[in-house]
Homo-oligomer: A and B are copies of this chain.
Amino acid sequence: MTDSYTRLVSQGLGKDLAKRLGLPQPAVLRRYTPGQALVTGPVLVQGSTAGADELAATLLSWNLDVRRHAVPREKLGAIILVLDGLTTPEDLEKPVLSAASSLRDLGPSARFISISRPAAEAGSPAVAAARQGVDGFVRSLAKELRAGATANGILLSSTVGTTSPSALAALRFFLSGRSAFVDGQFLTVSTAEGTMPADVQKPLAGKVAVVTGAARGIGAAITRTLHRDGATLILVDVPAAGDHLAAVANEVHGTALQLDISRTDAGQRILGHAVQRHGHLDILVHNAGITRDKLLANMDHARWNSVLNINIAAQLRINDALLASEHFRNAPRIVSVASTSGIAGNRGQTNYAASKGGVMGMVRATAPLLAARGGTINAVAPGFIETEMTARIPFAVREVGRRLNALQQGGLPSDVAEAIAFLASDAAGGINGDILRVCGQNLVGA
């Protein structure tokens, strides 16, 4: 599923016509399905450090076709540029230009992934400059790639090697179709923690997960994706959405909990439901959220309060309840849904952007509390996603919103769900307090 315009211009006569008229030609993105190969072709690993050598050996052990040198005219599934030993900006030249000469060999929906270290941890200005240079470089390259190919980066803290479990987990996410709509973004791996699942097809096997706002849209997609990945589901939504909620719950063999999350006892009710049925809770996805758009000049107390209360105050209260519970202690995971509107602001959404900014502030400040319990909390920040809600936006505004990103299209609810499933997995244990944009490198104002 993609929007009708993207389908039109991606094949046959529509494709020819769009080309001649100079219209945007968004590619149909390669999205993950179980059993799908990790990448679409050989993986070129560039960089001359020990970390690059070790990574190449590990990828070989995954049965991938690994190249350390480009083979002329061979179509590539991915280029991985290992830059874990940068000491000055001059160090970028050789590996970057070596990678540049293979860019034309990247196939459709191929991947470019840099692996480097956080500038904030640098011990000198020259090292910091080199590391932050990678950021500008990758974000530019993401805007140059075509045909559904993306460029993203992984930042490894000093204690994390290129083959640490959570570094590899981040790499698998970016290589795979799970990251189809993630472009021009960085994931920070702050500890080596994280364990590979026994069954890579079922990375959430044995996990009990709660999803709020699960009755429709992105919430329903999250529910389906976590179910596909092996989780046992508890679906939360307001009583008014009861019929939809029951239908999705049946589909994923989960249980429905009709609950207004803005109730002060919502956390206790969620825990009670989970513990009664399953004895514990592993994953909480804060997806429920509302919009009540109005220019600030016309904003009223009801619109402001309902959005702040449901989108952020409820998350704070529910987290408090879970963090106090002995039943949320086994490598717990919280994943919140933020928004690019919370990062950059959006006209007519002062209340929504305040609430979603709030979610990101909460996530970063709560990370140490989860770490103390062996867990993590992260957020995804969706850009323009094709839902019933966005389908109601007037046509011209919707078309601009859709195309104003490097992939020239809106994302799908499943794209958001895939990022959440990844962050909820044991393998992602080294990623904590991070915000991952799922926005096709959306042009926003921040």
Q: Which of B100, B128, B305, B365 contacts A128 (CB 8 A)?
A: B365
A347 adjacent to chain B (CB < 8 Å): yes
* Cβ-defined contact, B441 with A90, below 8 A: no
Q: How many residues of A contact B (CB 8 A)?
A: 83
A389 adjacent to chain B (CB < 8 Å): no
Q: Which of B143, B354, B361 contacts A345 (CB 8 A)?
A: B143
Q: Chain B residue with minimal CB distance to A101?
A: B297
Cβ contacts under 8 Å, A119 to chain B? 361, 364-365
Q: How many copies of this chain does the complex contain? A: 2
CA gap between A444 and B443 in the complex, in Å: 5
Residues 403-446 of A contacting B (Cβ, < 8 Å)? 404-406, 441-446
Cβ contacts under 8 Å, A316 to chain B? 88-89, 125-126, 129
Q: Which of A55-63, A131-139, A226-234 contacts B (4 or more CB under 8 A)?
A: A131-139
Known: A345-B140, A346-B140, A361-B133. A304 touches B96 (CB 8 A): yes
A261 adjacent to chain B (CB < 8 Å): no
* Cβ-defined contact, B345 with A132, below 8 A: no
Cβ contacts under 8 Å, A305 to chain B? 93
* Cβ-defined contact, B308 with A90, below 8 A: yes
| Residue with the greatest number of chain B CB neighbours at <10 A, chosen from A103, A309, A446 | A446
Q: Which of B89, B128, B369 contacts A354 (CB 8 A)?
A: B89
* Cβ-defined contact, B361 with A130, below 8 A: yes
* Cβ-defined contact, B365 with A136, below 8 A: no
CA gap between A125 and B334 in the complex, in Å: 14
CA gap between A128 and B315 in the complex, in Å: 13
CA gap between A133 and B88 in the complex, in Å: 37
* Cβ-defined contact, A406 with B301, below 8 A: no
Q: Which of B92, B122, B184, B349 contacts A365 (CB 8 A)?
A: B122
Cβ contacts under 8 Å, A312 to chain B? 89, 129, 133
* Cβ-defined contact, B133 with A357, below 8 A: yes
Cβ contacts under 8 Å, A362 to chain B? 125-126, 128-129, 132
CA gap between A131 and B364 in the complex, in Å: 12
Give A357-368 as 1s and 0s: 1 = Cβ < 8 Å from B's Cβ atoms.
111111011100
A350 adjacent to chain B (CB < 8 Å): yes
* Cβ-defined contact, A355 with B445, below 8 A: no
Given contacts A103-B296, A136-B358, 5 further A-B contacts (CB under 8 A): A88-B313, A130-B358, A131-B361, A136-B345, A140-B353
Chain A residues close to B by CB (< 8 Å): 88-90, 92-93, 96-97, 100, 103-104, 119-120, 122, 124-144, 184, 295-297, 299-301, 304-305, 308-309, 312-313, 316, 319, 341-350, 352-362, 364-366, 369, 404-406, 441-446
